[in-house]
Amino acid sequence: MKKEFKLTDTKLAPARQVDAVKHEINKYIARERRKTVAEGSDFWDFDCKFGKDKESAATIHVSEINKLIDKEVSEEAASFYIEILAKSAKRMQKAKA
């Protein structure tokens, strides 16, 4: 998913628009996690970028998405860019001391 989301809409209240954006992002992540992983992989990992536009997007962890959306809303931004790319990964064992 590579998309620029608008935080303002003429038909929806700002809070409902933010909820709709978060719902669409969470729905995409859930859909990707339901797919079968490749041979030798355990789970789906996500490469995420977030920013005001495509050029200023920085790498983030998937768990930070909602916090950054809320930050953009509090700064009264009109839109933001998000990029979420799924990749299959294998869990690493923790090093034993």
Q: Which domain does 55 fall in, by range?
A: 2-33+45-89
Average pLDDT for 58-87: 96
* pLDDT given for residue 19 in this prediction: 96
The reply to whether 38 falls in a domain is no
* pLDDT given for residue 94 in this prediction: 83
Looking at the 3D structure of the chain, how many domains does it have? 1
- Let me know: does 49 contact 57? Beta carbons within 8 Å: yes
% residues pLDDT > 90 (the chain): 90
The reply to whether 39 falls in a domain is no
Q: What is the 3-state secondary structure (H, E, C) of 41-53?
A: CCEEEEEEEEECC
Q: What is the pLDDT of residues 27-67, one digit of tens each?
A: 999 999 999 999 999 999 999 999 999 999 999 999 999 99
The reply to whether 76 falls in a domain is yes
Average pLDDT for 4-21: 94
The reply to whether 55 falls in a domain is yes
pLDDT exceeds 80 at position 78: yes
The reply to whether 23 falls in a domain is yes
The reply to whether 49 falls in a domain is yes
- Let me know: does 80 contact 7? Beta carbons within 8 Å: yes
